[in-house]
Amino acid sequence: MMTREEALAYGMSFDNVYEEKPFRDPNWQLVRIKGSKKTFLWIYEREGYINLNVKVNPEWRDFWRSAYESVTAGYHLNKEHWNTIILDGTIPEEEIKRAREITAIEYLKKYQPNRLKKSSARNEWELTDHDSFKINELTSQWHWKSRDIGGTSALNFLIHVDGCSFLEAVQMLKDEYPTYIPPPVETKPKKLFVLPPASLDCRRVFRYLKERGISGEVLQQCVHLGILYESLPYHNAVFVGRDENQVARYAFLRGIYDASGKAFKMEQAGSEKAYAFCVPAQTGCRRVAVYEACVDVLAHMTLEQGSRDKYRLELGGISAPKEGQSQRSMKKPQALEHFLSQHPEITEIEVCTDNDFAGRWACEHIRKAYEGSYRIIENLPEIEGADWADMAKMTARTPEKRQRKEVR
């Protein structure tokens, strides 16, 4: 890349961007992100060369400046967050590109197989010299737990694990892979989504869920809406997620026989998380309540007397760090993102996650992610450590205890 045209074409190759010339000087071209209007690329000519101003992660800022003389502190911008790249031909673009394509698992299996040993987990390997290092042989995703770093490429592995400099790593991979040909990737055919066969009635599922404190009225509503039924031959509770045309696209199965331990739980093969279980609201609603599990949806609905004054959406679980581990960001829930895209009338998000570490963590991250665009209502169970299913069960048992006391 040497010319203004090549630089602009690269910037415009990203999704949802546009070019702008905001200054009277035609030398300056900007590429912005649609919607936020944030600039991520400046293009201009200076001292006979095309220059690019690019935003950079602070932890990589000095690294790039020390690796190449043609990478300097951001010209006319905040030097903490911007670098300037001078397109003078000194950066070996193709070598870096090839080096980035090589995965860590390919490199290790081909050149350092003695460092690998199979772990107890499926498709996972460890390093003989770093016991807290794990790498997945299918995705090449690696994580060094003791250092809390990870990646997928051989380039990052050589730099962060083996301590090579950037230039040393690029040169090493260039020498060992003179012409890099990616190995063929086996693409497994996507499993067809088919709902499990239905039982003639839901009496077993109803009995189980009523024991969990969920009202018969709520259960009848869900059956009538076609989003809950009892399956055959195992009599699991099946929670169905439907698309905008009422076609089933998702199903969560929950076993009802859990006296000996944890109940059976799984998503039906081929389920699409974007269409998670949702109890629709009546017309004119502008609020969606979000939950960690399907049973929590029905439990909270029971506690609110079966009200359908808002949409009630299950998020398909959350992936939170363990308490005490380093914090990380949370991806926006796929189910919620899709729901909001289909319901532009929504103005409020009621967060009804569990009142434990994971639930509070999720609540905080959902609030941060959406509070600029939506009114956020935090509605966690009053009792620490409880979920809404626990609250419904306790509420249902209270009258029973009172009645037994009166009989005595």
pLDDT value at residue 389: 94
For residue 40, tell me if it sits in a domain. Answer: yes
- Domain endpoint, select from 91, 123, 144: 91
Position 189 in a domain? no
Query: Tell me, what CATH number does 153's domain have?
Result: 3.90.580.10
Report yes or no on 122 lying in a domain.
Answer: yes
Query: Which of 91, 112, 144 is the last residue in one of the domains?
Result: 91
CA 204/CA 376 separation, integer angstroms? 37
310 with 341, same domain: the answer is yes
Q: Residue 178: its pLDDT value, please?
A: 45
Number of folded domains in the chain? Answer: 3
Task: Clarify whether residues 342 and 375 are in a common domain.
Answer: yes
pLDDT at 365: 93
Secondary structure of 191-253 in the HEC alphabet? CCCCCCCECCCCHHHHHHHHHCCCCHHHHHHHHHHCCEEEECCCCCEEEEEECCCCCEEEEEE
Together in a domain, 229 and 215: yes
Q: Report the distance separating Cα 301 and Cα 279, nearest Å.
A: 9
- What was the pLDDT predicted at 81? 87
Question: Based on the domain organization, do 385 and 299 belong to the same domain?
Answer: yes
The DSSP H or E segment spanning 391 is helix 388-407
Domain presence at residue 237: yes
For residues 362 and 229, state if they share a domain: yes
Query: Does residue 45 belong to any structural domain of this protein?
Result: yes
Q: Are 101 and 164 found together in one domain? A: yes
Same domain flag for 119 and 267: no
Note whether 325 and 274 are same-domain residues: yes
CA distances for 352 relative to 43, 228, 300, 307, angstroms: 46, 21, 9, 15
pLDDT at 406: 47
How many alpha carbons fall within 13 Å on the CB side of residue 146? 7
**pLDDT value for 407:** 45
Residue 191: inside a domain, yes or no? no
State pTM to two decimals.
0.57
Same domain, 150 and 261: no
Collapse the DSSP code of 42 into the 3-class scheme (helix H, G, I; strand E, B; otherwise coil) and give the result. Answer: strand
Cα–Cα distances in angstroms (integers) from residue 167 to residues 2, 149, 155, 336, in the given order: 21, 20, 10, 43
Domain of 254 in residue numbering reads as 203-398
Digitized pLDDT (tens) for each residue of the chain, 408 residues in all: 678 998 898 888 877 789 998 888 889 999 988 878 888 899 999 989 999 998 877 766 776 787 778 889 999 888 888 999 998 887 766 666 665 678 889 888 888 888 999 988 888 999 988 878 999 998 889 998 888 888 888 888 888 888 877 667 777 776 655 444 445 556 667 789 999 999 999 999 999 999 999 999 999 999 999 999 999 999 999 999 999 999 999 999 999 986 666 778 999 999 999 999 999 998 789 999 999 999 999 999 999 999 999 999 999 888 777 776 656 678 899 999 999 999 999 999 999 999 999 999 999 999 999 998 999 999 999 999 999 999 999 998 775 544 444 444
CA–centroid distance for 311 within its chain? 22
What CATH number does the domain containing 50 carry? 3.90.1150.30
Q: In 10 A of CB 43, how many CB atoms? A: 21
Residue 187 included in any domain: no
Are 289 and 350 within 8 A, CB to CB?
A: yes
Question: Do 251 and 238 reside in the same domain of the chain?
Answer: yes
Domain containing residue 344: CATH number: 3.40.1360.10
Residue where a domain stops, chosen among 73, 91, 109:
91
Domain-located, residue 184: no
Let me know: does 103 contact 153? Beta carbons within 8 Å. yes
Q: Are residues 160 and 271 in the same domain?
A: no
Whether 163 and 260 share a structural domain: no
